[in-house]
Amino acid sequence: MNFNMKKYSPLIILISSIIVFILMIKLRPEAEFQKPKIIPQLVEAIMVLPSDVRAKISSQGTIKPEHEISVTSEVSGKIVWVSDKFQDGAGFRARDTLMKIEKRDYELALISTESSLFQARLALEREEAEAKLASIEWKRVGKGDASSLTLREPQLAQARAILAAADAAYEQAKRNLERTVITAPFNGRVRKKMVSLGTSLVPGARIADIYNTSSFEVRLPIIDKDIPFLGIALDGTTIKIGERPRVSLFSNYGGEDFQAEGYVIRSESEIDPKTRMISVIATIPSNNNLKIGMFVNAEIEGLSFSDIAIVPRNTVKDDMVWVIKDQKLRRKSVEVVRLENDYAFIADGLEKNEKVLITRLSSYIDGLPVREN
């Protein structure tokens, strides 16, 4: 039997190819399975450095005079002279003459009372002389105790009373004359003047409102969550010097920055029914550039805290923070004693030189690998 190779060649080639393919598959080395490599996320952190800190309490207020009075007339009469310093907004010094009232009637009254006083003194001297003679005469011719009439005691008492009345009238006339000249009681400024040259006054007439420029004050409302950090009694009593919290004041007016320092001197003792806040009163020396009526922002120094870690406020949530330890995220519980502006005061839970995560992540996983920027 003849074997025809040409006839079966395609079949042989096909079978050989299949065998080679199968052998290649079976003999092919198995590919090793590789786990996906986790790339640590790039983050930023701050190092914890505990220190002693003092709470700063923010508030706002308006500068006002610490002492303001209404000037009133103590005598009647027409205004005959007004100082240039006695105008709305004008400043003056203590004992400056601000205004004069027509004084002629008061000069005449003083002359009259002075004359009456002189006459009363003479009358008393005569009675004293008469009483002395009566006493001598009784001792010479009288027997027993002399009566008060004999010794002219009633006449002497009357003369003394007349002298006392004359002296009082004279002093009153002298004071009234002095009151025709109105002088400044302190260094200050005129807020509003109600009279002018030629105005006729009566006792008690309101002349002007003036205020002392030696010191100002500002009323600063405090929100309830800041009350525990003030460290002062809220009963309205004046705080002792040396125990008064310091206040820093800031303002901007007309494109210019203003700054001053002062002290809290007392609190109000009642809560404002509208704002539900209690206020403290701060005094500011006048040796600054603040103006009456200026709106100011204030920072009050409150209680001090020891060994406090300060971290950004947004790093704390539900009394928890994320820290970086061994290049991994770890969650820690902390004790927050105060939230102030953009920061949190942490008293416990963080160690010195520990690193707190400040980068915002899409998700937080305990043990997540990270690397610092």
Contact 57, 341 (CB under 8 A): no
Q: Looking at residue 51, what is its pLDDT?
A: 92
Our CA angle for 370, 371, 373, nearest 5°, is 135
pLDDT score of 29: 60
Residues in the chain: 373
Percent of the chain with pLDDT over 90: 69
pLDDT grade for 151, boundaries at 50, 70 and 90? low
370: nearest Cα among 41, 98, 61: 41
- Domain 57-66+213-304 grouped into CATH 2.40.30.170: yes
Angle between the N-to-C axes of helices 153-178 and 104-141, in degrees from 0 to 180, rounded to the nearest 10: 160
Residue with tokens 């907004």: 89
Single-letter code of the amino acid located at 174:
K
218 closest CA partner among 295, 136, 158, 282: 282
Burial class (CB in 10 A: 0-12, 13-18, 19+), 22: exposed
Residues in Cβ contact with 279 at an 8 Å cutoff, skipping those fewer than 6 apart:
219, 220, 221, 222, 267, 268, 272
What does DSSP say about strands 41-43 and 370-372: parallel, antiparallel, or unpaired?
A: parallel
Structure tokens given for 226: 């800041």
Mean local confidence (pLDDT), 233-250:
93
Whole-number pLDDT of residue 5: 55
Q: Does the pLDDT of residue 233 top 50, yes or no?
A: yes
**CA dist., res. 260 & res. 245, Å (int):** 14
| Spatial separation of the C-alpha atoms in residues 258 and 276, rounded to whole Å | 29
| Model pLDDT for residues 112-123, shown as the tens digit of each residue | 999 999 999 999
Is the model's pLDDT at 177 over the cut of 50?
Answer: yes
105-139 burial, b at 16+ Cβ within 10 Å, e below that, comes to: ebeebbeebeebbeebeebbeebeeebeebeeebe
Confidence of residue 133 (pLDDT cuts 50, 70, 90): confident
Q: CATH topology for 43-50+316-372?
A: 2.40.420
In this predicted structure, the answer to whether residue 2 has a pLDDT above a threshold of 70 is no
Predicted confidence (pLDDT) at residue 33 exceeds the cutoff of 60: no
Q: Classify residue 317 by its DSSP letter.
A: B
Q: Region 137-160: what's the mean pLDDT? A: 73
Is the torsion defined by CA of 131, 132, 133, 136 positive or negative? positive
pLDDT digits (tens, 9 = 90+) for 261-311: 999 999 998 999 999 999 999 999 876 678 899 999 999 999 999 999 999
The mean pLDDT value of the chain amounts to 88
- Confidence label for 1 from pLDDT (cuts 50, 70 and 90): very low
Bridge pairing between strands 370-372 and 320-325: unpaired
pTM of the prediction? 0.71
Least confident of 146-160, 170-184, 345-359: 146-160
pLDDT 10s digits, 355-372: 999 999 888 889 999 988
Burial of 57: CB neighbours in 10 Å, binned 0-12, 13-18, 19+: buried
Each residue of 61-105: pLDDT tens digit? 999 999 999 999 999 999 999 999 999 999 999 999 999 999 999
Please state the rounded mean pLDDT for residues 226-242: 91
Q: Which residues have C-beta within 8 Å of that of residue 257, sequence separation ≥ 6?
A: 250, 251
CA distance 49 to 355: 10
**What are the tens digits of pLDDT across the range 40-73?**
888 999 999 999 999 999 999 999 999 999 999 9
| Helix intervals (H) in the chain | 5-27, 104-141, 153-178
Residues 293 and 62 sit within 8 Å (Cβ to Cβ): yes
Q: What is the mean pLDDT of residues 219-232?
A: 93
